[in-house]
């Protein structure tokens, strides 16, 4: 699942390779200063658009006049609850802005899904749809990723919908300690067809803020908190909601 027209800021971890490839070997202090400067320049590309009800949202310019959207919130939750929400496709129209339906087209592996998502957009925009490959992964520090890749070219178009193109996005859940988790979404998509850029960007910002706000409220529900998945490892001392109630 991705959000209409909404690739993370370059990580400073990638910078040292460029630093040491220079013909002049930099000392530790100079290398650190240059690393911080490069990191600051990357973050400066983002412009904060809103901060409301616990959801912060930024945008930056992308190709063809579109904007890339990044939004995040923090909530006390188990990581598996997020997987459970994504698996509950029938309920996605209840919290994903403009969603009119989501279905699984294929399941290449236990951690991959091909998903067809439909969106009923406000006039004068025509309705859109997209097909994406969703892939789960987890880092050694328990950070959970859900990466989205465009698969629209591989499936027939749907009558009454304009097929979105060049869809890319990622959900990142980063444990902060004490059960607190930062949920971040970032992505970009070409809506295709004819739409003025100002309208596309307006829809992108509003839909992302609404979706993330609803998600952070919904994920705390008991029906999701008790879920478990073999490919998700919870941080130490993390308990299900039922275990918390019993204690």
List Cα–Cα distances, 90 to 84, 93, 141, 220, 223, in angstroms.
12, 7, 31, 18, 14
- Residue bearing tokens 């998509």: 189
Among the listed ranges 68-82, 168-182, 193-207, 208-222, which one has the minimum average pLDDT value?
Answer: 193-207
Can you tell me the mean pLDDT for 213-217?
A: 94
- 150 phi/psi in degrees, rounded to 5: -65, 130
Q: For 84, how many CA atoms within 13 A lie in the half-sphere containing its CB? A: 17
Q: Is 68 exposed, middle or buried (0-12, 13-18, 19+ CB in 10 A)?
A: buried
Contact call for residues 171 and 82 (beta carbons, < 8 A): yes
- Confidence bin at 9 (pLDDT 50/70/90): very low
Tokens of 2: 């991705």
Distance between start and end Cα atoms, the chain: 36
Q: Is the pLDDT of residue 55 over 50?
A: yes
Q: What is the CATH number of domain 47-238?
A: 3.30.530.20
The predicted model gives 144-165 an average pLDDT of 96
Using a cut of 0.85, tell me whether the model's pTM lies above it: no
Residue pair 102/92 in contact (Cβ under 8 Å)? The answer is yes
pLDDT score of 7 more than 80: no
For 19-28, 139-148, 198-207, which range has the lowest pLDDT when averaged over its residues?
Answer: 19-28
Confidence of residue 242 (pLDDT cuts 50, 70, 90): low
Q: Helix, strand or coil for residue 137?
A: strand
Task: Answer whether residue 39 shows pLDDT above 50.
Answer: no
């Amino acid at each position: 699942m991705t959000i209409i027209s909404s690739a993370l800021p370059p990580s400073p971890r990638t910078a040292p390779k460029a630093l040491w490839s220079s013909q002049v070997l930099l000392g530790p202090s100079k290398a650190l200063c240059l690393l911080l400067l490069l990191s600051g320049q990357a973050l400066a590309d983002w412009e904060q658009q809103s901060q409301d009800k616990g959801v912060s949202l930024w945008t930056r310019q992308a190709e063809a006049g579109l904007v890339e959207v990044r939004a995040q919130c923090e909530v006390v939750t188990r990581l598996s609850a997020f997987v459970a929400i994504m698996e509950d496709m029938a309920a996605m129209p209840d919290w994903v802005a403009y969603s009119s339906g989501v279905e699984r087209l294929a399941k290449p592996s236990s951690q991959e899904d091909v998903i067809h998502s439909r969106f009923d957009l406000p006039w004068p925009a025509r309705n859109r749809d997209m097909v994406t490959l969703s892939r789960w992964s987890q880092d050694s520090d328990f950070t959970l990723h859900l990466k989205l890749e465009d698969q629209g070219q591989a499936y027939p178009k749907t009558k009454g919908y304009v097929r979105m193109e060049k869809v890319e996005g990622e959900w990142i859940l980063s444990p902060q300690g004490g059960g607190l988790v930062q949920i971040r979404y970032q992505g970009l998509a070409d809506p295709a067809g004819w739409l003025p850029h100002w309208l596309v960007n307006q829809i992108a910002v509003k839909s992302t803020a609404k979706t993330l706000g609803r998600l952070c409220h919904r994920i705390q529900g008991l029906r999701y908190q008790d879920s478990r998945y073999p490919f998700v490892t919870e941080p130490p001392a993390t308990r299900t909601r039922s275990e918390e109630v019993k204690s």
